[in-house]
Chains A and B, each alone.
Chain A
Amino acid sequence: MPFTPPPIDDILAALAERFGPVESSVFRGQTRIVVPEERSLETLGWLKGRGFDLLVDVTCVDYLEYPDAKHRYGLVYLLASTATNQRLTVRVFVDDPRPTVRSVVPLWEAANWLEREVWDMFGIHFEGHPDLRRLLMPEEFTAHPLRKDYPLQGRGERHNFPVITRDHS
């Protein structure tokens, strides 16, 4: 029997009261809400105050090749509560050019590197992040690899190194 997390309808109701109606849906027992970018930091801070103390993940989906997509980037914040085992997925949609979101590092220190990785892989700028640099790719790398318009095999960067032969090593 697949496990379903405890319901969070009361939290959603309080959220709607505080911030106005939010688009929410349930899929396979998981609740997802969509929050506009302007209120993302406020909403997440409020949710943290309501018991979601564990930031599980910050990630992004590039909807460039998705059927019927309205926005290009969907940021995903996965929250969990250690006390009540509730889970919530918060989605924030942003668009080109210059996708920007407020950083949640003041709320959860875990977001520091997770947001750096999203910047590295997708190019989403996090306002207020203390140290937004590349994490996985080298500093000199210019592209954002996980975007859908970047090819899987890259653009020749992996071949661009000097060759050391036997006679001059």
Chain B
Amino acid sequence: MSIASPEYGTIDPGPGPAARSEDYLWTLNFGPQHPATHTTLRLVLKLEGERVVDALPEMGYLHSGFEKIGEHLTFNQYVTVTDRMNYISPMANNVAWHHAVETLLGIELTPRCSYIRTIIAELARISDHLLCNGAVGLDTGAFTFFLYGFYQREVIYDIFETLCGARFTNSYTRVGGVSQDFTPLVIEKIRTFVKTFPKTLDDMERLLTRNRIFVDRTKGVGVLTKEEAINRGATGPVARASGVTRDLRKDEPYLAYADLQFQVCCASAGDCYARYLVRMQEMRESLRIVAQALENLPAGPVNVGIDQRTALPTKKQVYSTIEGTISHFELSMSNRGFEVPNEESYAAIEAPNGELGFYVAGDGGESAYRARCRPPALLHFAMFPHLIRGHTLSDVVAVLGSLNIIAAELDR
């Protein structure tokens, strides 16, 4: 029996002041300190009751002057700073930075190095998607999903720690190569991960993918059409979930992707659920890439030869050949070392978040003249008001989580 039913008798509120819809407009400040695990973003939401009328995103709460530091550090020193950009997948940033630097310097990597960088970039992608989807789960209330994802990330951290000593913020790549080669123990650990991860991924999917609550909270929420995605500069899973079939691994193959078989995951709905599904599927494809690359890992040197004067020679070369000694000496001196042309170039990789590119300008010195990072998260955050208009307050966290906005990459 409802209050308005005839048996109960209708309640007549009587004439009162006519409420205009502007009376229900209120402003909510969301951030920069808030529990959604995306750190230091600010949204000023204009709400009418529960419905979002407009959103004003504000950023800059983590702007640390990365691009200015790039003008003062050498190419090999700056990789430590790129780690701190998209800190969920630091290996991908390292690969992107050195890809850009090697494009500028015109250095070609050894096959083994390409495969190694491919493997670590894909492991970083798995790590990123685990956290992104985990955060979407956490923000919509699924804590177990988040913890499962975090445990798998610990396994990946263990692999990275065995490889180069740091759990994350590894600074693993160097100009012309990497800092440590793969040891048999690392290969064994990656193989174990490849074997055990699919089962956990299945468990995680069983938790959320057909979960009625999750689907209701994310389907139809934050829809991005294909034209809008291209016009607003979206790249990566956000664009692919809207039907844009652009993936730099296939369209502009770099490293070892041209030799590996994998599929590009796209969806056409463009809502939060589609982005979640695209990321889940991308994790499976990444695992396929890692498995293939690991089985076909070419033998040979991992750094480029010492005649190119870029990567440090091995100790054996330094102690037994004169070229090795000279090369080591010259690279350690600050005014010698590799030659940088007075030119500018741009190179991008398909980072887990989208197209992460660096526009590097050289001026002959050992540090960049301008190191510009093209952050995918900036353009995604700029799209946020467009996506959230008309949705309710509870959809704000779902949309924000699905865009995977990492504040450090956003603000640099």
B382 adjacent to A57 (CB under 8 Å): no
Partner of A27, one of B345, B355, B382: B345
- For B60, give its contact among A1, A59, A136 (CB under 8 Å): A136
- B359 to A28, Cβ gap below 8 A? no
CB-defined contacts of A108 to chain B, threshold 8 Å: 231-233
Question: CA A56 – CA B69 in complex, angstroms?
Answer: 23
B391 within 8 A of A: no
Q: Is the CB of B59 within 8 A of A78?
A: no
**B114 nearest CB neighbor, chain A only:** A1
Complex formed: what's the CA distance from A135 to B244 in Å?
28
B219 adjacent to chain A (CB < 8 Å): no
Query: Is A110 in contact with B382, judged by CB distance below 8 angstroms?
Result: yes
In the complex, what residues of B have CB within 8 A of residue A76's CB?
A: 344, 359
A66, A109, A110, A135: the one contacting B59 at CB < 8 Å is A135
Total residue contacts A-B, CB cutoff 8 A: 109
Count B interface residues, CB 8 Å. 48
User: Which one of B346, B378, B411 lies within 8 Å of A30 (CB-CB)?
Assistant: B346
Judge whether B63 is part of the interface by a CB distance below 8 angstroms.
yes
Does the CB pair B411–A78 fall under 8 Å? no
Residues of A within 8 A of B258 (CB): 1, 3
Q: Which residues of chain B from 14 to 58 have a CB within 8 Å of any chain A CB?
A: none
Write the chain A residue with the least CB distance to B383. A109
A141-B254 Cα distance, complex, nearest whole Å: 41
Would A28 and B104 be within 8 Å (CB), given that A137-B60, A138-B60, A152-B68 are in contact? yes
Q: A78 to B372: give the CA distance in the assembly, Å.
A: 12
List of A residues within 8 angstroms of B381 by Cβ: 113
- In the complex, the answer to whether B342 meets A67 with C-beta atoms within 8 Å is yes
Please give, as numbers and ranges, the residues of chain A lying within 8 Å of B67 by CB-CB distance: 121, 146
Instruction: Assess the B103–A28 pair: CB atoms within 8 A.
Output: yes
Interface residues of A (CB under 8 A from B): 1-3, 5, 27-28, 30, 32, 53-57, 59, 61-62, 65-67, 76, 78, 82, 85, 89, 108-110, 112-114, 117, 121, 134-138, 145-146, 152
Question: A82-B244, A109-B231 known; 7 other A-B pairs, CB under 8 Å?
Answer: A27-B345, A54-B246, A56-B346, A78-B374, A110-B382, A135-B60, A137-B60
Those 5 A-B pairs whose CB atoms lie nearest each other, nearest first: A110-B233, A136-B60, A136-B63, A113-B382, A57-B374
List B residues at the A interface (Cβ < 8 Å).
59-60, 63, 65, 67-69, 71-72, 103-104, 106, 108, 228, 230-233, 235, 244, 246, 251-254, 258, 342-346, 348, 355, 357, 359, 361, 363-364, 369-370, 372, 374, 378-379, 381-382, 411-412
